C-alpha cells in the first residue's frame, strides 16, 4: 500500500508523534498481487501478531510494555528502494557485532519493541536496553541534526566548559 492508502485507512488513534499504525490493508495475497501489478516498487512489512504484548526491562525506565495495534502495527523491514529499514538494519548489525547493551534516546523506545520481535523471529538473544532522556535546547526542542541543532564540534569551538553547557540545559 502507498502511504496515502495507509493514511486514508488509518482513522484510529495514532501512536506517538503522529506515527500511523499500519491497518493491515494490504496483508492478503489477493490485495498484494493487485497492488504489485500496478506498481513496480513495494516494501516488505513484518506482520505483527494481533494482540501481542512486548515487555522488556529497560535499564532506566524499568519494566516497559507495548501492545500491538495500540502502540504499533506491522512495520517496514525492507523499503521500496531496496534498502533494509532501520529496524532490520540495527537488529542485524547489533547481533553480528555481538552488542550486549544498547544505549539510546527515549524517543526510540517503541523501536525496541519492534526489534525484540525481530530478535525473536530470528531466534537471536537480544541485548539489554537503556533509554536515556533527550538533551533539549533552551526552547525545549530536542537537539537533532534535522532541527539544525548545534553539533558537538560547534559546542567545543564555543570555548565553554562542559559544566557551563550542562548548566545551560538544566535551567
Q: 45 with 110, same domain?
A: yes
Do residues 128 and 151 both lie within one domain?
no
Number of structural domains found in the chain: 2
Please indicate, yes or no, whether residues 40 and 110 belong to a single structural domain of this protein. yes
End-to-end CA distance of the chain: 46
Cβ-Cβ contacts under 8 Å for 92 (sequence gap 6 or more): 84
80 and 153 co-located in one domain = no
Residue 69 or 26, more confident: 69
pLDDT, residue 117, reads 97
Residues of the domain holding 99: 3-133
Q: Give the three cell numbers for residue 150.
A: 548545534
Q: Note the pLDDT of residue 10.
A: 53
* Co-location of 114 and 166 in the same domain: no
Of the pLDDT bands very low, low, confident and very high (cuts 50, 70, 90), residue 14 is very low
pLDDT in tens, 102-147: 999 999 999 999 999 999 999 999 999 999 998 777 788 887 777 7
Q: Are residues 166 and 93 in the same domain?
A: no
If asked whether residues 9 and 49 sit together in one domain, one would say: yes
Statement to judge: residues 148 and 163 lie in one domain: yes
In this structure, are residues 144 and 73 in contact, taking their beta carbons and an 8 Å threshold? no
Amino acid at each position: 500500500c502507498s502511504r496515502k492508502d495507509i493514511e486514508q485507512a488509518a482513522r484510529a488513534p495514532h501512536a506517538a508523534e503522529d506515527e500511523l499504525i499500519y491497518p493491515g490493508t494490504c496483508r492478503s495475497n489477493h490485495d498484494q498481487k493487485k497492488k504489485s501489478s500496478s506498481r513496480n516498487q513495494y516494501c516488505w512489512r513484518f506482520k505483527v501478531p494481533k494482540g501481542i504484548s512486548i515487555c522488556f526491562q529497560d535499564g532506566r525506565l524499568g519494566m516497559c510494555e507495548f501492545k500491538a495495534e495500540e502502540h504499533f502495527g506491522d512495520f517496514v523491514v525492507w523499503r521500496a528502494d531496496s534498502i533494509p529499514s532501520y529496524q532490520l538494519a540495527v537488529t542485524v548489525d547489533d547481533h553480528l557485532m555481538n552488542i550486549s547493551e544498547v544505549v539510546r534516546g527515549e524517543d526510540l523506545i517503541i523501536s525496541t519493541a519492534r526489534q525484540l520481535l525481530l530478535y525473536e523471529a530470528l531466534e537471536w538473544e537480544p541485548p539489554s536496553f537503556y533509554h536515556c532522556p533527550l538533551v533539549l535546547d533552551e526552547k525545549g526542542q530536542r537537539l537533532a541534526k534535522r532541527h539544525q541543532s548545534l553539533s558537538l564540534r560547534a559546542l567545543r569551538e564555543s570555548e565553554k566548559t562542559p559544566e557551563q553547557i550542562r548548566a545551560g540545559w538544566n535551567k
